[in-house]
Amino acid sequence: MKIFDPHIRSRTQSDADLKNLAYFGTERVVSCLSMGRVPERAEELIAAMEAHGSAEVRRLERCGLEAGAALGVLPGMRPRRAHYEVWRRLPELLALPTVVALGEVGVWEDVASQWELFDRQVKIAREAEIEAIIVTPPRDLRVTLTYKMMQRLEKLRVDPARVLVMHVDEKTLVNVVQSGFGAGVAVGASTLDPRRAARVVRDAIETLGSYERIALSSALRVGGADLLAIPKTVEALGALGSGDGEVEALVGGNARAIIDG
């Protein structure tokens, strides 16, 4: 069984870890831009985006992974100084052949500045006709802001079939899928543990009557790395009665349908 992990931050992982990820069944990944600190100037962020879409993709390929890059700016990573140049260059960067999605983007506090940042990037992605990876906020605001982001995307006339909403949980998964979006279930050390994730997914499938548009992800990042998160979840799903077709969709087919359009 080949795994397509649609949401990792590969720059937080060593070559050895990425090679192990491939060894344990991951065939393809989408790597979202991550930076260790807030960039001071727009030029620094643009350079990081360029490097992520080129050198980082090549590193992933050397580690045995088919890779696509995602480029976006989360609220905490907006340059401290003037950043209009980022928005001028972003359409060009999203058009790079290695870039498969806008991401990560999201609203983590219900404030005007974050909605402005979100709207600007989503509009650029819509014009570029590229998929988007949305990351939901920390748990205390997750339900409210997940719903608000979906409403915002609808208002901006974004096709929900081209959006993966990451870090859904038992409170949001069913609604996200019913609204037409892809639902990314993150499993790992600091998210849902594999057994819990399997139960959440199975309960959602029973409610929905379908396993379409649900995708498992390891969401690899600093402090959240479990290279076996998806294989462990596959084992737990099997114990709960999931068949091969269902599991193959959850670990690969559904993510491909979202990211590949």
* Domains along the sequence of the chain with CATH: 3-259 (3.20.20.140)
Nearest to 19 by CA among 87, 58, 65: 65
Q: Is a pLDDT exceeding 80 seen at residue 190?
A: no
pLDDT tier at 223, thresholds 50, 70, 90: low
What pLDDT shows up at residue 123?
A: 97
Q: Is a pLDDT exceeding 80 seen at residue 225?
A: no
Who's near 14: CB < 8 A, 6+ residues apart?
Answer: none
Cα within 13 Å of Cα(10), Cβ side: 34
Who's near 8: CB < 8 A, 6+ residues apart?
Answer: 29, 30, 31, 32, 217, 218, 219, 220, 221
Instruction: Please name the residue that has the structure tokens 């990081």.
Output: 48
Classify 215 as helix, strand or coil: strand
Residues 105/137, Cβ–Cβ less than 8 Å: no
Neighbours of 161 (CB within 10 A): 13
Nearest to 44 by CA among 93, 77, 9, 22: 77
Nearest to 137 by CA among 128, 129, 126, 148: 148
Q: How far is CA 20 from the centre of its chain?
A: 20
Structure tokens at 10: 């590969």
Handedness of CA 99, 121, 33, 7 (dihedral sign): negative
What pLDDT shows up at residue 78?
A: 86
Give me the mean pLDDT over the 234-259 stretch.
97
Radius of gyration of the chain (CA): 17
Length of the chain: 261
- The rounded percent of the chain whose pLDDT value lies above 70 is 98
Residues 154/28, Cβ–Cβ less than 8 Å: no
Distance CA 4, CA 56 (A): 18
Distance CA 10, CA 114 (A): 25
Residues 158/132, Cβ–Cβ less than 8 Å: yes
Distance CA 215, CA 192 (A): 14
Give me the mean pLDDT over the 181-202 stretch.
92
Q: Is a pLDDT exceeding 90 seen at residue 37?
A: no
Q: How far is CA 42 from the centre of its chain?
A: 23
More confident residue, 82 or 76: 76
